[in-house]
Structure 1
Amino acid sequence: MQLSAHPAAVRIRSGLPVAGEVVYAVGSLWISSTMLRNWPDPEGYWRDTDALAYALLAAVYLPLVLRRRFPVAVLTSTGLCVAAYFTLGYYHVVAVCGLLLALYTVASLRPRTVSARCVGGALLVLLWGTRLAEPGIGPLSVAFVTVAAIVCWVVGDGSRRLRELTRQLRLEQEAKARRAVVEERVRIARELHDVIAHHVSVIAVQTGLAGYVITSDPTTARRALDTAGGSAREALAEMRRMLVLLRAPEPGPADAVGPGMPGLAGLDDLARRVGEAGVPVDVRVTGTVYALPSGIDLCAYRVVQEALTNVLRHAPAARTTVRVHYAEDEVRVRVNDDGSGHAVARDSAARATTGQGLIGMRERATIYHGTVTAEPAPEGGFEVSLRIPVPRAGRGP
C-alpha cells in the first residue's frame, strides 16, 4: 500500500483544512488581542480595554473555524459582534479583518444573489466603525473600508466562478471521455461485423454446398471447402490487421486505417470469392481511376462487401452488378442484384430497414460526409448506393 493511501495519511489530509482554520482563528485572535492591549492611545480616542472587549474579539474570530460549513451564519454572527464592538467604542482596526474574511467566505461559497446582500450589510457595519477613526483621516477610513469590502467580495465571487468553471470543465472532460469510449466501441463493432459477417456468410454457404454434394460430386465439394478455407484465412488476416490498429500505442482518429487494409483495388478478389459462393458478380469501373484516401477507400470497400453479404443471405441465386464511378470530386458505388433469388421479394423491406450492416454502412459514410441508400430497385431486386466526396489536392475539401 502506498503511503499516500494509508488510512492514517488519509485522515491526516482530511484533518489539515480544519487544523488550518483553527490555527488561523486562534492566531488572529491572539494578534488582535495583542494589538488591542499594546496600541497607544494618549489622546483617549477609544474606550479603555476591558474583559468585554476581549470577549467580543473572541466572538468575532473563533467562529471563523466554521466559516466554510456555515458561511452566512458566521458572517451574521461576526457582523453583529463587530457592530457591538464598534458601538462600545473600542479600538476598531483589530476587528475589521474578521468581518472581511467572513465576507470573502460567503462570496466564494454562496450564489451572487446571496453574497451581494451580505456585502451591503457588512459594508454598513464597517462604515459605522469609521466614526472611531482618528481626527483627519475619517474620509480615508471610509474609502479604505469601502474598497476592502468590494475587493473581498469580487475576489471571493471570482473564486466561486473559477471553481464552478473548473467543475464544469471536469464534467465536460468526463463526458468527452465517455463519448470517446462509445465511439471506439462502435468502431470496433463495425469492423468486427464487416470482417466476420461477410466471411462467415461465405463459409456457411460453401460448407452447406460441400455437405450437400460431398457424396455425389466430390470435386465440387472439395472446391467449396477450399473456398471456405480461403475465406476463413482472409478473415483471420483482416482481424489481425484490425487488432494491430486497435492496439496502436497512440490512438488515432476514428477514421484511421492501418496499412494492408482492403480497398476498391480488391473488388475483383471479393467478386471472385462471392462468385464461388454461388452469386455471380460483375464489377464495372468507370471514370479515371485515382488513388483514394485510405479511409474512403476502406469505406467504399466495406459498403460493397456488406451489400454482397446481404445478397448471399437474402438472394443466393441473384446475379449482381457492382458499379464504381470515379468523378472529379466524389466516388459513387452502386450494388444491384436482379431479384432472381427466391427470398428477395419477402426480404426486401427488411433489408432496407433493419440489420447492423446497414447501420454500419451509414455510420462509415457519415464519417466522410457521404450518403448511403438501400432500397428495392425499380426494375426489381435490391440496390445499395454510396456517394462520398473525395478531397483532392488543389480542389479543396
Structure 2
Amino acid sequence: MTTTGEEHEAARGGPWWWARWRSAVLDGALAAASAVECAVEGVPFARDAGIAPAVGVVFGLLAGSVLVVRRRWPIAVVLVAIAITPAEMGFLMGVVGLYTLAASELPRRIIGSLAGMSLVGTLIVTFVRVRQDMARGDLTLGDWFVPFASITTAIGMTAPPVLLGLYVGARRRLMESLRERADSLERELQLLAERAEERAEWARGEERTRIAREMHDVVAHRVSLMVVHAAALQAIARKDPDKAVKNAALVGDMGRQALTELREMLGVLRSGDGVRGGSSSAVPAAVEVAAAAAVAVSRAVVDEGAVEGPCLSDVEELVGQSAAAGMVVDLSVEGEARSYAAEIEQTAFRVVQEALTNVHKHAAGAKTYVRLAHRVSEIAMQVENEPPPEAGSASSARLPSGGNGLVGMKERVVALGGVFVSGPTEAGGFRVSAVIPAV
C-alpha cells in the first residue's frame, strides 16, 4: 500500500533532524557500534604512537560516535573517517559514511571527490601496512601481493557502499517523484469531480428550467382560455343559456386537453427516473454520465418518438380556440406548407400559443393577426395585435401574469439557432416575431 506525499510528511515525528524515531534508534546503534570499534582499535594505535592506552580509547570513542550525525552532516562523517584511516580506525564509520553520502542529495562531484579521497587513503594505508608486515616476516607472499591487497581492500571498502548509496538515493528520489505525481493526480481528480458536480448541477438547473417552460406552455394557454370562457359564462349564464352551455362545454374540453398534456409530460419524466437513478456512492465518472442523462431526459419531450407533441398543423385549431373565446383572429400562411423536425414544429407552435395567451391576458378584445411563412431554409411566424378596445385596460377576466412567457419563447427559439424579437408597435399594439432555421 502506497502513501501520498502529504501522508508521508505527516508520518514525520522523530527527534531533532530525524524523520522517525526508528531512524534515530538505528543511527544511535550504529554510532555506539562504531565507538566501540574505534575504542578497541585505539589501544594498538596508542601503543604504536607511544601514548597511554586510555587516551587511545577516549580518542576512539569520540571519533566513532561522530557516526550519529551521518544523516545531518554526511560530509563531516566521511572526513573524520578519512582522517582516522592512518590509525587503522573507523572502518564501520567509513563504510556507513560513504553509503550515507552517496544516498544524499549532494552534488555528484562532491560525492565523487570524497569517495576518491577515501579510496586513496585506504589504498595508501593498506599498502604501507601490508608492506610492513612482509618486511617483518609476518607475510611470506611475493611482492605482487602488496599492490593486489592494497587495490582490492581499497575498492572493497569504497565501491560497494558508494554504489549501494547511489542506488538507494535514486530509488528514494523516484519514490518522492511518484508521491508528488500521486498528489497531483489526486488534486486533478478532485478538481474533475468538482467540475462534474458543477456540470450535474447545471444539467439539473437546465432540466428545471425546461420543465418550468413546458408546464407554462401547456398550462398557461389552456387555463387562460378556460378563465376567459368562465368569465363569459358568468356574464351570459342568465341572458343566453344556450351559449352558456356551449361555453361550459368548451371549458371542459380545454381542461381535459390540459390534463392530457400534463399526464403525457409527467409520464416522460417518470420514465426517465430509471435512466437518472444510480447509487449515491458513484464515482466522479458516474456523475458525468448522470449529468448527460439528465440533459438527455430533459429533451425527451421534444424528441421524435417521445410524447406526441403539438405541431404546425395544430395552429389552425389553436386559432379557432381563441376565436371561440371571443378573440378576433386572422390567420394567414405564406409559402408551401411542409413538415419540419418535431422540435422545430413544437417551438413554432409554442411561440404562437404563448403570443395568443398574452393577448388574452393583456389585450382582451383586440384584433390579432397570426402569420406563418414557409421559406426555403427557415420558418417565420408573427403574432401582432391591435390596441384593445379600451387602451391600457387589463383583461376583464383579470388573468395573472408571471412574466416568463416572453423569456421562455426566446429561450426556445435561440436554442434552435433562431432569432426572436418582441415589443410594442407604433399603433399601440404588441408584436411577437420569430425566425427558426429549418435545416
What TM-score, normalized to structure 2? 0.61
* Equivalent residue number for residue 379 of structure 2: 331
Letter in 1 for 2:310: P
- 1:163 matched to 2:163? The reply is no
- 1:363 matched to 2:411? The reply is yes
Q: Rate the CA distance shift 1:185–1:93 in 2: closer, same or farther, 3 A.
A: farther
* Equivalent residue number for residue 11 of structure 1: none
Q: 1:285 aligns with which of 317, 333, 351?
A: 333
Q: 1:316 aligns with which of 352, 364, 376?
A: 364
User: Counterparts of 2:339 and 2:101 in 1: how far apart (Å)?
Assistant: 76
* Equivalent residue number for residue 66 of structure 1: none
Aligned residues: 318
User: Counterparts of 2:325 and 2:80 in 1: how far apart (Å)?
Assistant: 103
Q: Rate the CA distance shift 1:94–1:332 in 2: closer, same or farther, 3 A.
A: same
* Equivalent residue number for residue 305 of structure 1: 353
| Range 176-185 or range 155-164, more displaced | 155-164
Q: Rate the CA distance shift 1:253–1:33 in 2: closer, same or farther, 3 A.
A: farther
- 1:234 matched to 2:257? The reply is yes
Task: Using the TM superposition, give the Cα deviation of residue 373 of structure 1 relative to its aligned residue in structure 2, in angstroms.
Answer: 0.8
Q: Is the 8 A contact 1:320 1:338 kept in 2?
A: yes
**1:290 match: secondary structure:** coil
RMSD, aligned CA: 4.1
Letter in 2 for 1:131: L
Q: Rate the CA distance shift 1:50–1:263 in 2: closer, same or farther, 3 A.
A: farther
Q: Is the 8 A contact 1:320 1:335 kept in 2?
A: yes
Q: Rate the CA distance shift 1:88–1:231 in 2: closer, same or farther, 3 A.
A: farther
Q: Is the 8 A contact 1:82 1:125 kept in 2?
A: no
User: Counterparts of 1:83 and 1:323 in 2: how far apart (Å)?
Assistant: 93
User: Counterparts of 2:256 and 2:113 in 1: how far apart (Å)?
Assistant: 91
Task: Using the TM superposition, give the Cα deviation of residue 142 of structure 1 relative to its aligned residue in structure 2, in angstroms.
Answer: 9.0
**2:334 match: secondary structure:** strand
**2:222 match: secondary structure:** helix
User: Counterparts of 2:183 and 2:110 in 1: how far apart (Å)?
Assistant: 26
Letter in 1 for 2:378: E
**1:1-397 alignment runs, 5 A limit:** 53=67, 80=72, 89=81, 90=93, 91-92=96-97, 122-124=105-107, 128=111, 131-132=114-115, 135=119, 137=159, 148=171, 151-152=174-175, 154-247=177-270, 248=272, 249-250=274-275, 251=293, 252=296, 254-256=298-300, 257=302, 258-343=306-391, 355-391=403-439
Task: Using the TM superposition, give the Cα deviation of residue 232 of structure 1 relative to its aligned residue in structure 2, in angstroms.
Answer: 0.9
Q: Is the 8 A contact 2:312 2:349 kept in 1?
A: yes
User: Counterparts of 1:155 and 1:335 in 2: how far apart (Å)?
Assistant: 67
Instruction: Provide Cα deviations, 1:81-132, integer angstroms capped at 9, x if missing partner.
Output: 76676666531477589x88xxxxxxxxxxxxxxxxxxxxx44599559835
Q: Is the 8 A contact 1:330 1:387 kept in 2?
A: yes
User: Counterparts of 2:394 and 2:327 in 1: how far apart (Å)?
Assistant: 18
Letter in 1 for 2:261: E
Q: Rate the CA distance shift 1:56–1:139 in 2: closer, same or farther, 3 A.
A: closer
Q: Is the 8 A contact 2:386 2:429 kept in 1?
A: yes
**2:359 match: secondary structure:** helix
Q: Greater CA radius of gyration, 1 or 2? A: 2
User: Counterparts of 2:245 and 2:346 in 1: how far apart (Å)?
Assistant: 32
User: Counterparts of 2:171 and 2:109 in 1: how far apart (Å)?
Assistant: 10
**1:285 match: secondary structure:** strand
User: Counterparts of 2:75 and 2:108 in 1: how far apart (Å)?
Assistant: 6
Q: Rate the CA distance shift 1:262–1:81 in 2: closer, same or farther, 3 A.
A: farther
What TM-score, normalized to structure 1? 0.66
Q: Is the 8 A contact 1:321 1:336 kept in 2?
A: yes
Identity of aligned residues (%): 28
User: Counterparts of 1:313 and 1:96 in 2: how far apart (Å)?
Assistant: 89
Task: Using the TM superposition, give the Cα deviation of residue 194 of structure 1 relative to its aligned residue in structure 2, in angstroms.
Answer: 0.9
* Equivalent residue number for residue 77 of structure 1: none
Letter in 2 for 1:174: E
Task: Using the TM superposition, give the Cα deviation of residue 254 of structure 1 relative to its aligned residue in structure 2, in angstroms.
Answer: 4.3
5+ residue gaps, structure 1: 1-16, 61-79, 101-121, 348-353, 392-397
Q: Is the 8 A contact 2:115 2:162 kept in 1?
A: no
Instruction: Provide Cα deviations, 1:145-195, integer angstroms capped at 9, x if missing partner.
Output: 775576455434433322222122111101101101110110111111111
5+ residue gaps, structure 2: 1-6, 13-18, 42-59, 82-92, 120-154, 276-292, 396-401
**2:337 match: secondary structure:** coil
User: Counterparts of 2:362 and 2:225 in 1: how far apart (Å)?
Assistant: 13
User: Counterparts of 1:52 and 1:142 in 2: how far apart (Å)?
Assistant: 19
